[in-house]
Structure 1
Amino acid sequence: MKKHLLLFGLTAALVSCAGQGDKNAGNLVTLSFGDWSRFDPAYCYDSACGEIIQNTLETLLFYDGESADTYVPLLAAEVPSVENGGISEDGLTYTVKLNADAKFSDGKPVTAEDVEYSIERMMVYSTDIGPALLLTEPLLGKAEPVRDGNFTFEQIDQAVEATDENTVVFRLAKPFAPFLGVLATYPSAIYSREDAIARGDWDGTADTWEQFSNLAEGSGKLDQGPVGSGPFTIERYDVGKAVSLKRNDDYWREPARLERVIIQSVEDENTRIQMLDAGDADMALPNAMTPTALPQLEKKDNLTVEKASGLSLVGLFMNQNIDPKGTNYLGSGKLDGKGIPANFFSDENVRKGFATAFDYDSYIREVTQNLSKRAGTILIEGLPGYSEDLPAYTYDPEASAEYFKKAWGGEVWEKGFELPVFYNTGNTGRQRALDILRTTLQKINPRFKLEVRELAFSQILSQSAANQMTVWAGAWGADYADPHNFAQPFLQSTGNYGAQIGYKNPELDQRITEAVASTDNDRRVELYQEIARTGYEDAAFIPLGQPLSTYVQNKRIQGRLKNPMFAGDYYYTISRGE
């Protein structure tokens, strides 16, 4: 038995009992790297756990095939519109009728109360690492977690209301152009209210809601996944190693073609290549194989390698307000060449020094193998407002040196610095990006010293949320295909990355709020271009590139959808051919 199969005993058992021609007949083994956070939607805001939620829970709406911005009803009976009365003329009220056939994996029907509970619970929890802001922004009026009395339970309760067993009404605090996209994304997944309460979770009342606000990691009752209505259920989770999904044979639509899906975490890429070539794995998750591996994989007779446009952005993030009590990454904590102070990146000259020190052309050419398009702002290709005329930093060592000579009154240039920078374990592309930065900075000034470190993905998520990181490589995949979903998380002070890096520009905050509420598309484009340019001028973060999505799979695999909005893969449509 091959060593890599020992990562997950269930996989080995499946392989040993399958036929010789197709090792995994009836099942699917797919490869990833890194680990998973919990499977409670209130804590999940990454593609790893999001993929599990996407396949075990369901949303009111879903994406139409491979389209990023058109929707079909799933748990809803139809897609609400102004024409069918589902959306009010002022854009503030959305009325959703439920699909009468939908039921949970325990056989009980999906009701409007379940929808109300699931959406309200997300806002009640408002965890630091979760996606609650996707809902608080349109429904409560601000992209902020429910915290310290900024919202009342009455506001939460009135925002989502089950008016009868099969009807849910959403009352928005302001017009929100991409709200249908919010309803289609996995953070808006619906699950069983009865099951959650039976497990000791929030009971859905005003009396107890504050007890569940921002519960610490490990405190939730639904960490192993709520009862959902999806085509699969979670069968087993070997922490950090693999997740097994089992077909829901009582699914309300036709059951999935696959009996079981096993997602394995295999950090070593050579091992992933060997498993794919030998047929021990059927495919890799989107972008789980680095660009440098693709030419080798393309030569394999039993594999296909496909590329598709994506809506994601890779960047380097610089924390302007590091928590000195929560981290040991600051070295001396001073500008003495042996560390950095906690507010080191609050000087925009430092940030611009880093931005002009990075060799973008080498990154695109050597690291991504030209499978990434240069992106200089949050407006990437495929979003309204994108233009090739938008600004982008370039590799300019002389300009970088001038910025650093201005930083902190000249002390940075004179004394230098030492600091660790981070990438998630197994992500060699991000590792190499940081290696490029380390090398170019040392050429600019030998006193500039970076130490490139790996860290488990879950640790990067939790430490960045707690403002403990220094500089790290990360990425953002669109929650919905609208420029707001890049402006808000990257540049608004309450956004995912904005909060993690301590970036705050009050005028920009207001402009982002105005842009998403505008019903004039031309005005929205104008505002988002202004927002993109301001983010560039502030060097809020360093955009590296917009990658193509890559899909590697065995030629037997059929029905795989390449939708840039998916969190990983959607297994319901996949089958095995001869």
Structure 2
Amino acid sequence: MHPTTPFPGLRRRGFLAAASGATALAVTGCAGSSPAADGKGDAGTPRRGGRLRAAFAGGGASETLDPHLANLFADVARAKALYDKLADYDDDLSARPRLAEKWQADRTLRRWQVTLRRATFHDGTPVTARDVLASYRRIADPAKAFRAKASLEPIDLKASRATGERTVEFVLKRPTAEFPNVLAAFGAYIVPEGASDFDRAPVGSGPFRLVSFAPGRGAVFRRNDDYWDGAPYLDELELVVANEESARVNALLGGQLEYAHELNPATARAHEGKGRIEIVRLRGSAMQAFAMKTDRPPFDDRRVREAFFLIADRKELVDGALSGAGQIGNDLFGKGYEYYADGLPQREQDLDRARSLLKQAGADKLRVTLDTSDVAAGFTEAAGIFRDQAARAGVTVTVRTGSKDSYWSDILDSGTLCCYRSGAMPIESHLSQRLLTDSTTNATKWRHKDFDTLYQQAQSTRDKDARAAVYGRMQRRLHAEGGFLVWGFADWIIATARNVGGVERTAPANTLDWARFDKVWLT
């Protein structure tokens, strides 16, 4: 199957990053050259009809429509066209029901009853509890490398069961107050029981049906008039592969596209407000940080970590490494997300205090290596800027540039200080995947049993306000002495033709309303 595409053969990948640190992008915000008051594009009243052509960086001939193998932004856009999850993330990264109509926990928070809404797959068969359990068991197959496997770990799938055609009882291994986040997990799509032929004849319950698919080139989809959430406005959607940013932008300017994913700040500035295309900035999308390993010198000394917090000039880093396309951070993940501790004072550069702390720690002539790579935009620039900032505090930073192909695995356990970024996930997921003693992607080696206990306390707390208070305690501790020096949050930038309406301007990547083409229209 070969959809029409004017951009064959381009190569640069646009990886979604996630728990490993190579993360997908995200967070809240709004902007653009003429944003509408409701946060959507302003191309008039919604109307039906037409084909929208959208370009993403792709993965070449190995691309697949298997939603459980999605790893790139392009993969997720295709999966969202064809499939649904039980829940998905709202703009603040709270879980929002999708195929699940509702959920209810018992008093122990270890059994959750999930009721499905009435929805059908593209072949007309209903989405049932058996399909849900079969999908989750497929994802959890130990012989497979499906990305959502770790997210489903809290579920005891052997004990979980269908209690009716549209009801599932999930039995959990431990109390999990934030279980809806599991239902919304990246890649946790529902497919029909026994599904296998994903690339030639995929059957989902999503807003579009497949017309054609050519790995590395693109895919064409047609409106699903029977979609449970309302038929899309578009007649057809074409997702094409254009790995080079210049190809995406030139095709948009030339009328060959209506939507271009992933622009750099310089390109956005060159076209913003010029009247030819619309620039959409998803403010503060990717957390930008330096990760200090807290289990080894010099960062096993809390005073050294605090000194590094005070060395950073966050505005200079945002302006220099992100070309100003972002907002400053405060050494915490998830700015704007549910449970974020936004009441803490903004940390400012204080070189005198940093020098004093280093002297107290016997590290006033400290030398340290900062690992970086061109694996992510702004990494090498940030490393150079921070090196110069540290020099003003008497610290000698040597920048070491590693291979972008192995960077994330290299820096997980080795080194002492590295460039790091992360995209959208709930704050609870960030805590559990990166900051508990047994977390598999614990890049800062933050291991404290009392911190683990606080996390378990939060997960065992039914009352949301009380649970938020526990998350607040955990974040105050991280702000004071953690290993993530979070200096900024980068904008995520897309561009559209001026006749495109309905594009959400506040939805981080990895959330429900990002790349949600069933709610987009052409005028």
TM-score normalised per structure 1: 0.68
CA distance in 1, matches of 2:500, 2:223: 20
Contact 2:112 2:171 in 1 (8 A): yes
Alignment of 1:157-556 (within 5 A): 157-158=158-159, 160-196=160-196, 227-232=203-208, 235-236=212-213, 238=215, 243-247=218-222, 252-253=227-228, 256=232, 257-268=234-245, 270-285=246-261, 288-307=262-281, 313-318=287-292, 346=300, 348=302, 351-352=305-306, 354-366=308-320, 367=322, 369=324, 371-378=326-333, 380-384=335-339, 386-390=341-345, 392=347, 394-401=348-355, 410=363, 413=365, 416-418=367-369, 420-425=371-376, 427=377, 429-444=378-393, 447-452=396-401, 455=404, 459-460=406-407, 471-479=418-426, 483-495=427-439, 497-498=441-442, 500-547=443-490, 550-556=493-499
* Residue 520 of structure 2 corresponds to residue 571 of structure 1: no
CA distance in 2, matches of 1:247, 1:92: 41
Q: Which residue identity does 2:153 align to in structure 1? A: T
Shift, 1:404, TM fit: 5.6
Name the one with the larger helix percent.
1
* Residue 505 of structure 2 corresponds to residue 558 of structure 1: no
CA distance in 2, matches of 1:444, 1:41: 49
Q: Which residue identity does 1:477 align to in structure 2? A: A
The percentage of counterpart residues that share the same residue type is: 18
State the match for 1:132 in structure 2. 149
Contact 1:305 1:552 in 2 (8 A): yes
Q: Which residue identity does 2:329 align to in structure 1? A: R
Relative to structure 1, the CA distance from residue 400 to residue 468 in structure 2 (aligned partners, 3 Å threshold; closer, same or farther) is closer
Stretches of structure 1 lacking an aligned partner (at least 5 in a row): 10-24, 81-85, 140-154, 200-221, 322-341
CA distance in 2, matches of 1:354, 1:493: 23
Shift, 1:157, TM fit: 1.0
After superposition, the C-alpha distances for 1:370-401 in whole angstroms (9 at most, x for unaligned) are 64243332363343353333463x33444555
Q: Which residue identity does 1:571 align to in structure 2? A: F
Contact 1:422 1:473 in 2 (8 A): no
TM-score normalised per structure 2: 0.74
- The count of residues paired between Structure 1 and Structure 2 equals 474
State the match for 1:7 in structure 2. 9
Relative to structure 1, the CA distance from residue 413 to residue 281 in structure 2 (aligned partners, 3 Å threshold; closer, same or farther) is farther
Relative to structure 1, the CA distance from residue 226 to residue 344 in structure 2 (aligned partners, 3 Å threshold; closer, same or farther) is farther
Aligned-residue CA RMSD in angstroms? 4.2
CA distance in 2, matches of 1:95, 1:560: 34
Q: Which residue identity does 1:168 align to in structure 2? A: V
Q: Which residue identity does 1:438 align to in structure 2? A: R
Q: Aligned with 2:53: secondary structure?
A: strand
Q: Aligned with 1:477: secondary structure?
A: coil
After superposition, the C-alpha distances for 1:426-465 in whole angstroms (9 at most, x for unaligned) are x2x4443233223334555585220345725xx5555566
